[in-house]
Amino acid sequence: MRAFVLSAIGMFALDQGSKWFVVHALNLKNILALDVWPPFLRFRMGWNEGINFGLLSGHPDAMRWLLIAVAIAISVWVSRWALKDGRLMMQVSAGLLVGGALGNVLDRLLYGAVADFLNMSCCGINNPYTFNVADIGVFAGAIGLVLFSGQKKTP
């Protein structure tokens, strides 16, 4: 349980800290874009009212509350599953997913949308999409749950 709690709190804090720093300290909410390591990494402000890549946006108020409820329900289910399993990597993976999901839930509660700011492009391909640290946690956690869920628990 300790690994789950530490990874969830760590991911949540990293997500919220990075958003605060980029949006407020670097003033990205006003300057909208900042080249960090061109062309590979750019901070570009985006407010996502939907899910990945802005899907399901357009009904901000109803969708906002639905997405909050779904994220919390999935977080509770994943938490119970991973804690019942007991293996370290399952708990860490679940913690990353839950910490990231709850970071995005807090954004929806505070701002009505998720603050996205990471934009990565490479090799002449211009990526129009932005994401955030919470999205990395959700993705890494989901991959970890898939990879480690089939392993047998060692005594």
Please compute the mean of the pLDDT values over residues 142-148 and round it to a whole number. Answer: 95
Does 56 score more than 70 pLDDT? Answer: no
Give the other-Cβ count within 10 Å of 149's Cβ.
14
Does 78 score more than 60 pLDDT? Answer: yes
| pLDDT range class, residue 52, cuts 50, 70, 90 | low
- When the pLDDT of each residue in the chain is averaged and rounded to a whole number, the result is 90
Q: What is the pLDDT of residue 59?
A: 66
Provide the annotated active-site residues.
116, 135
pLDDT in tens, 3-38: 999 999 999 999 999 999 999 999 999 999 999 998
Q: What is the pLDDT of residue 85?
A: 87
Q: What is the pLDDT of residue 119?
A: 95
